[in-house]
């Protein structure tokens, strides 16, 4: 899969349908030759254009500055004459910023080495053992050095053959004598020719409006998606893709980068003077600076790259397969996840033991399996003004205590789950009164609160220990099988009473502490089902997926709004990771009424659960829950493991939405169609199915007739007789 051609000094990384090529110049620069459709031969060193000297009249002389400005670098460094965006900037002891890395040697091996302290894709021993043709995973490490700084820089590439993914990361070792500061380190760069009017696809959003697909034509200069909020955020997403004009689900070129990290990031595309594109992804350099004393090293997080020559759909399925196979851990990855009911929208802060038991009993009768107690069970938390940090049970509210509640719920026949927001501190809390210096803030400046709360300074190991123990202590006290780990504000006022001045820009320590805590948690409680959350979907990223197999997608539970949010999310994340619940109408966020059936169908394209007061529902609605829980059991395997195809987008056409999931063996498929707005005097709609076996005959449960796979895909399926707004239908197809 990974080949080194000694004569041409070219590395070629092959996956099932893509190839990636790197060349070494005589001086030792690593140049990017090619990323695209799979190649059968190693060739193409000339594409580095080593003989061209833009704007130098003397043809036989190549000045370094001219070279640096036009050479397609694998990992461009800053300060020495390449004025495009750099990926690595190191400041020396004299205060100078200049870095230049040249190739020294390389290593190629089977498998992949973990990234210390960071979430990262992996290949398990059993995956390696059962490696059949086409499922290989190999790593290339390019070891480079900057002799002046005395640093060694390792560029790692892992090729995942079957999933058409290449991951990249960078490690810097200080092998010299001086203390250095890494001022910028991005994990991946793709230098390409600006041959097409590429569009940049990003996933911007807001609270309750996460991950809407946006495409814009790129031009000269820099265009980006970024976060300086201390988390990946609702507002931008650590994902960028370049697509050729007119790219659809089934055609067009797509180059995608997705960052396995949950803090500040920058994904950027720069078009420069010589019509070159530089696409980069990494930790944002805002408030970033990492001291590296002699002997120390720094590992940057990983970027997932994928290329598709068959449009966005192929990219989606490559990423879904990749995350399911090589990023998500958890015992629940391959077992059925329990259908949960969460009391947040049912009660908000206003509940008692009795009320919760009532909900649980009715939920049980409807087929629900797990009860989750949300915010409000601790300290004096009767609204969001206080008590974050005081993680002891409010026994005035929960009469009988937590153990009694959990046991009673277990007795009803439901499992128990609980909500935490471990990274936070309310100024009105016992914790803050005891440790005001544990909150992130700038000395002498009134801290900016958000939702009346501050953030714990997790760079301080004592604080990290406190936060971890707050969660673990509760989990040790009762049989709790699920935790919702929330994070409801973004980071500002970046000052730490703990970190010394030289380490003041090491915000990354916060993110690393979150990773460490979650790693400890899933190790100490291996049967725990962890769901991450951040004011809805503000920290939905591959970094968090490494710890929790599911993430709450958005606080907006309205079925129509969810169509767009889930479309953007499912563009890059498997449906099994998307937290989705049926809630009450009028919807609490937008006030819209949608049929109960539609709410169930939309939530089915995610983890599936409920978030409403079941005791207040009509008998008819409770009967619908019973039907829906059965529907979930019937289809959950297919939805969790199948191939996802986007057929129509409500966000684009404003009238209807359609998507389907096909089992890997193509024996079964489930299509969801939602008519969002009805139109008068309209013929049936035609939807072209995808991913079926064209030669097979499928039986459809709705129309009760047989079709060939070929006609469903080429001719299309007719969808008629839907009456009203926001009405939906599931179509199940079974191979005959
Ligand atoms: C966030 C979450 C909600 C809920 C509340 C509780 O907004 O996204 O689901 O848990 O916090 O305060």
Q: What is the 3-state secondary structure (H, E, C) of 113-159?
A: CCCCCCCCCCCCHHHHHCCCCCCCEEEEEEEEEECCCCEEEEEEEEE
Which residue lies with its CA nearest to atom 2 of ligand 1?
535
In this predicted structure, the answer to whether residue 59 has a pLDDT above a threshold of 70 is no
**Ligand 1 atom closest to 534 (CA):** 8
In this prediction, residue 507 carries a pLDDT of: 81
Sign of the CA dihedral running 347, 351, 355, 361: positive
pLDDT confidence of 134, banded at 50, 70, 90? confident
In this predicted structure, the answer to whether residue 471 has a pLDDT above a threshold of 90 is yes
**Ligand 1 atom closest to 484 (CA):** 10
User: Could you give the residue ranges of the DSSP H alpha helices within 525-572?
Assistant: 542-545, 559-570
DSSP 622-640: HHHHHHHHHHHHHHHHHHH
Q: CA 429 to CA 455: how far, in whole Å?
A: 13
Q: CA 81 to CA 721: how far, in whole Å?
A: 65
In this predicted structure, the answer to whether residue 460 has a pLDDT above a threshold of 60 is yes
In this prediction, residue 129 carries a pLDDT of: 76
- Could you tell me if 204 and 237 are in contact, meaning their C-beta atoms sit under 8 angstroms apart? yes
User: CB-based contacts of 591: which residues, under 8 Å, 6+ apart?
Assistant: none
Q: CA 6 to CA 108: how far, in whole Å?
A: 14
In this predicted structure, the answer to whether residue 57 has a pLDDT above a threshold of 60 is no
340, 375, 426: which to mutate for ligand 1, most atoms within 8 A of CB? 375
Cis bond before residue 53 (omega within 30° of 0): no
The catalytic residues are 486, 555
382, 535, 539: which to mutate for ligand 1, most atoms within 8 A of CB? 535
In this predicted structure, the answer to whether residue 566 has a pLDDT above a threshold of 70 is yes
- Could you tell me if 261 and 268 are in contact, meaning their C-beta atoms sit under 8 angstroms apart? no
In this predicted structure, the answer to whether residue 509 has a pLDDT above a threshold of 90 is yes
pLDDT confidence of 55, banded at 50, 70, 90? low
Which residue lies with its CA nearest to atom 11 of ligand 1?
535
**What's the CA-to-centroid distance between 535 and ligand 1, angstroms?**
5
User: CB-based contacts of 379: which residues, under 8 Å, 6+ apart?
Assistant: 386, 387, 388, 389, 390, 391, 392, 394, 429, 430
In this structure, the strands spanning 297-299 and 165-174 are: antiparallel
The torsion angles phi and psi of 313, rounded to 5 degrees, stand at -60, -40
What is the rounded average pLDDT of the residues 182-200?
Answer: 97
**What's the CA-to-centroid distance between 486 and ligand 1, angstroms?**
7
In this prediction, residue 135 carries a pLDDT of: 81
**Ligand 1 atom closest to 555 (CA):** 8
| Three-state DSSP class for residue 680 | coil
Please give the sequence-ordered ranges of beta strands (E in DSSP) within 498-650, or none if there are none.
529-532, 550-552, 578-579, 581-583, 609-611, 643-648
In Å, how far from its chain's centre is CA 253?
A: 22
In this predicted structure, the answer to whether residue 64 has a pLDDT above a threshold of 90 is no
**What's the CA-to-centroid distance between 701 and ligand 1, angstroms?**
38
Instruction: Report the pocket of ligand 1 as residue ranges, CB < 6 Å.
Output: 344, 374-375, 419, 486, 488, 533, 535-536, 552, 555
**Ligand 1 atom closest to 374 (CA):** 10
**pLDDT exceeding 90 applies to what percent of the chain?**
94
What is the rounded average pLDDT of the residues 269-298?
Answer: 97
In this predicted structure, the answer to whether residue 407 has a pLDDT above a threshold of 70 is yes
**What's the CA-to-centroid distance between 454 and ligand 1, angstroms?**
16
| Three-state DSSP class for residue 278 | strand
| Integer-rounded Cα radius of gyration of the chain | 27
Which residue lies with its CA nearest to atom 7 of ligand 1?
535
Q: CA 355 to CA 615: how far, in whole Å?
A: 9
Say which DSSP state 323 is in: H
pLDDT tens for each residue of 147-183: 999 999 999 999 999 999 999 999 999 999 999 999 9
Which residue lies with its CA nearest to atom 12 of ligand 1?
375
**What's the CA-to-centroid distance between 236 and ligand 1, angstroms?**
20
**What's the CA-to-centroid distance between 372 and ligand 1, angstroms?**
12
Whose structure tokens read 């079957």? 162
Q: CA 368 to CA 338: how far, in whole Å?
A: 8
CA angle (311, 317, 321) in 5-degree steps: 150
Beta bridge partners of 708: 697
Whose structure tokens read 């879904």? 320
**How many CB atoms within 10 Å of residue 221?**
9
User: CB-based contacts of 49: which residues, under 8 Å, 6+ apart?
Assistant: 70, 71
486, 536, 539, 578: which to mutate for ligand 1, most atoms within 8 A of CB? 486
- Could you tell me if 338 and 369 are in contact, meaning their C-beta atoms sit under 8 angstroms apart? yes
**What's the CA-to-centroid distance between 70 and ligand 1, angstroms?**
49
């Amino acid at each position: 899969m990974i080949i080194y051609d000694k004569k041409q000094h070219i590395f070629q990384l092959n996956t099932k349908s893509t190839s990636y090529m790197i060349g070494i110049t005589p001086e030792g620069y690593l140049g990017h030759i090619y990323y695209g459709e799979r190649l059968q031969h190693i060739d193409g060193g000339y594409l580095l254009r080593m003989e061209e000297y833009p704007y130098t009249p003397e043809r036989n002389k190549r000045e370094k500055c001219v070279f640096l400005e036009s050479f397609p670098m694998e990992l461009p460094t800053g300060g020495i004459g390449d004025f495009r965006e750099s990926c690595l900037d190191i400041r020396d002891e004299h205060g100078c910023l200049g870095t230049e890395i040249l190739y020294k040697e390389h290593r190629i091996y089977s498998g992949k080495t973990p990234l210390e302290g960071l979430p990262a894709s992996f290949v398990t021993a059993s995956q390696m053992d059962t490696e059949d043709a086409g499922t290989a995973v190999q790593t290339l490490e390019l070891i480079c050095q900057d002799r002046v700084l005395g640093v060694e820089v390792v560029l790692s590439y892992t090729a995942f053959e079957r999933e058409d993914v290449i991951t990249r990361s960078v490690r810097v070792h200080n092998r010299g004598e001086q203390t250095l500061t890494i001022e910028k380190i991005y994990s991946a760069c793709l230098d390409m020719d600006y041959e097409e009017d590429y569009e940049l696809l990003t996933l911007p959003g807001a609270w309750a409006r996460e991950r809407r697909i946006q495409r814009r034509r790129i031009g000269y200069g820099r265009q980006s998606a970024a976060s300086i909020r201390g988390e990946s955020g609702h507002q931008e997403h650590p994902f960028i893709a370049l697509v050729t004009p007119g790219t659809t689900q089934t055609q067009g070129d797509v180059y995608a980068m997705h960052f396995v990290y949950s803090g500040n990031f920058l994904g950027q595309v720069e078009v420069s003077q010589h019509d070159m594109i530089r696409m980069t992804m990494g930790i944002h350099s805002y408030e970033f600076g990492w001291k590296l004393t002699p002997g120390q090293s720094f590992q940057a997080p990983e970027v997932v790259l994928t290329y598709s020559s068959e449009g966005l759909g192929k990219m989606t399925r490559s990423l879904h397969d990749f995350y399911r196979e090589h990023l998500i851990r958890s015992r629940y990855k391959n077992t059925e996840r329990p259908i949960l009911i969460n009391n947040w929208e049912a009660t908000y802060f206003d509940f008692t033991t009795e009320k919760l038991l009532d909900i649980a009993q009715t939920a049980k009768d409807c087929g629900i399996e797990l009860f989750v107690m949300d915010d409000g069970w601790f300290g004096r938390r009767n609204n969001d003004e206080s008590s974050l940090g005081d993680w002891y049970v409010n026994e005035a509210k929960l009469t009988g205590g937590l153990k009694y509640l959990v046991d009673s719920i277990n007795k009803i026949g439901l499992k128990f789950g609980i909500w935490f927001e471990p990274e936070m501190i309310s100024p009105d809390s016992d914790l803050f009164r005891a440790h005001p210096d544990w909150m992130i803030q700038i000395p002498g400046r009134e801290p900016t609160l958000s939702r009346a709360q501050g953030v714990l300074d997790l760079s301080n190991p004592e604080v990290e220990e406190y936060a971890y123990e707050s969660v673990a202590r509760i989990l040790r006290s009762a049989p709790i099988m699920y935790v919702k780990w929330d994070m409801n504000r973004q980071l500002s006022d970046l000052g730490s009473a703990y970190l010394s001045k030289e380490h003041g820009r090491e915000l990354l320590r916060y993110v690393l502490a979150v990773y460490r805590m979650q790693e400890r948690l899933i190790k100490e409680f291996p049967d725990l089902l962890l769901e991450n959350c951040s004011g809805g979907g503000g920290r939905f990223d591959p970094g968090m997926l490494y710890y929790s197999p599911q993430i709450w997608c958005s606080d907006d539970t309205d079925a129509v709004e969810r169509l767009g949010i889930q479309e953007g999310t499912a563009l890059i994340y498997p449906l099994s990771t998307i937290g989705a619940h049926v809630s009450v109408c009028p919807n609490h966020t937008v006030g819209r009424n949608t049929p109960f059936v539609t709410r169930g169908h939309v939530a089915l394209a995610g983890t599936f659960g409920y978030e409403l007061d079941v005791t207040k529902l009509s008998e008819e609605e409770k009967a619908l829950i019973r039907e829906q829980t059965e529907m979930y059991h019937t289809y959950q395997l297919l939805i969790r493991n199948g191939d996802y195809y986007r057929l129509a987008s409500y966000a684009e056409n404003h009238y209807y939405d359609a998507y389907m999931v096909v089992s890997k063996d193509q024996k079964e498929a489930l299509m969801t169609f939602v008519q969002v707005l009805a139109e008068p005097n309209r013929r049936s709609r035609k939807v072209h199915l995808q991913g079926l076996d064209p030669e097979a005959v499928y039986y459809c449960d709705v129309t009760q007739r047989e079709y060939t796979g070929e006609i469903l895909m080429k001719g299309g399926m007719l969808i008629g007789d839907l009456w009203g707004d926001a009405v939906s239908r599931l179509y199940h197809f079974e191979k005959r």
